[in-house]
Amino acid sequence: MADSPSYDARGLVNLVSEVESRLIGGSPAPRLDPDIAAAIPEGRTYVLVLFDGLGVAQLHHEAAGPLRASHRSTLHAPFPTTTSVSLATVATGLAPSRHGLIAHLSWLPELGRVVNTLKWVDLSGHPVAADYASYLPRPNLWERLRAAGIEPITVQPAAFAGSPLSRLLYRGARFESAWDDHDLVEATIQLASEPNRLIFTYFWPVDFAGHVYGLGSPELAEALRQAANLWEGILARLPPAVTLLGTADHGLVDFAEEDKILIRGKPLDSLRFGGDPRGVHVWAEQTLLEELAGSTGGRLTDSLALLGPDPGSEARSRAGDTLLLAPPTKVLLPPGFDKRLRSYHGGLSTDELEIPLLIG
């Protein structure tokens, strides 16, 4: 288990910074370690494919052969290792400490609720109305690129068009809908035919299959085959002078039913919980926090220290009194957390934190 993710040379934020710096000459975050960056070809247009849930550990699966063959280096996802946080890092080129989206289930003091930042519902499932497009800092990555004459385009499943999360993440980017995997490939290739573009293509089935069916399931194997086919399909037909990169937002870890710790009972029911099942934000007085850590085997730590450099006011206001990190082989499930899943993420284990840098 890592003490903290890399934000200065080997992180997802540094990959975004590397691409932005090559396209427009600068970025707010440090670039990649030069030894890693040296393997990335220069391009007039860049394509970045993000495979949701494709941690380095998932590359060992026999169905992931073409992806494994393109694995050139290993990076770190930001903390927490979860989709909405990592996608916000891509959309801003900033660590979570600076972009302020610090958890899957995030306390938003301005709304007075803990909000699921993927679906934008509260813990009871009710939709949360907010100014989604203004949630992340300005200018974001897409706005900086556009201002410098680079066209940012995201290729996404059509079902995500206009969703609260898409409105939050892709302010300033052209949103190109794709109806299936074939369409995702075709749209990416066609859009990459023009110079001075950044194409960000998102693929979700690996994450879904892992969560619902588990890492040893036929469904996960099929999702990895789909991901490999998509990668090969794009790589085979990309125009010249286009650089193809692939990465992920986090890895996945299976947990058995007996590994799920339900946090229930008095006085815990009165507490506010947020965060992720592998790292829970808790608002409580110190004695109760220590009792909770003792009963779960978890470790209390400062979440701000894990989010990146120079935490801003948004990150500070949304963080719990402390962060309760789950034991390595457990998940922590307060009320409102999903206890139905087979695999989880959000913590600091190698399998959650390590994501690949794929180079086509």
Is 61 contained in some domain?
yes
The confidence band for 2, taking pLDDT boundaries of 50, 70 and 90, is confident
Residue among 262, 282, 301 nearest 1 (CA)? 301
- Under 8 Å between Cβ of 227 and 67: yes
Q: Are residues 27 and 151 in the same domain?
A: yes
Q: Are residues 246 and 314 in the same domain?
A: no
- Residue 40 has a pLDDT of 98
pTM above 0.95, yes or no: yes
Q: Are residues 24 and 115 in the same domain?
A: yes
Number of domains the chain is built from: 2
Q: Are residues 279 and 175 in the same domain?
A: no
- Residue 270 has a pLDDT of 86
Question: For residue 59, which amino acid is it?
Answer: L
- Residue 3 has a pLDDT of 81
The confidence band for 217, taking pLDDT boundaries of 50, 70 and 90, is very high
Please, what's the b/e burial string for 143-152 (b: 16 or more CB within 10 A of its CB; e: otherwise)?
bbbbeeebbb
Q: Are residues 174 and 294 in the same domain?
A: no
Mean pLDDT of 157-175: 97
Q: Are residues 175 and 94 in the same domain?
A: yes
Q: Are residues 173 and 69 in the same domain?
A: yes
List the structure tokens of 339: 């206890």
- Residue 82 has a pLDDT of 98
Q: Are residues 224 and 332 in the same domain?
A: no
What are the strands of the beta sheet with 322-325, ordered from one edge? 121-122, 113-116, 105-108, 272-276, 279-283, 322-325, 299-301
The string of pLDDT tens digits covering residues 25-84 is 999 999 999 999 999 999 999 999 999 999 999 999 999 999 999 999 999 999 999 999
Q: What percentage of the chain carries pLDDT values higher than 90? A: 97
Mean pLDDT of 239-263: 97
Phi and psi torsions of 2, nearest 5°:
-75, 150
Q: Are residues 159 and 267 in the same domain?
A: no
Residue that has been written with the tokens 């109806």 in this structure: 179
Range(s) of the domain holding residue 302: 257-344
First vs last Cα of the chain: how many Å apart? 30
The confidence band for 231, taking pLDDT boundaries of 50, 70 and 90, is very high
Q: Is 84 left (phi over 0), alpha (psi -120 to 50) or beta?
A: alpha
Is 309 contained in some domain?
yes
- Under 8 Å between Cβ of 45 and 196: yes
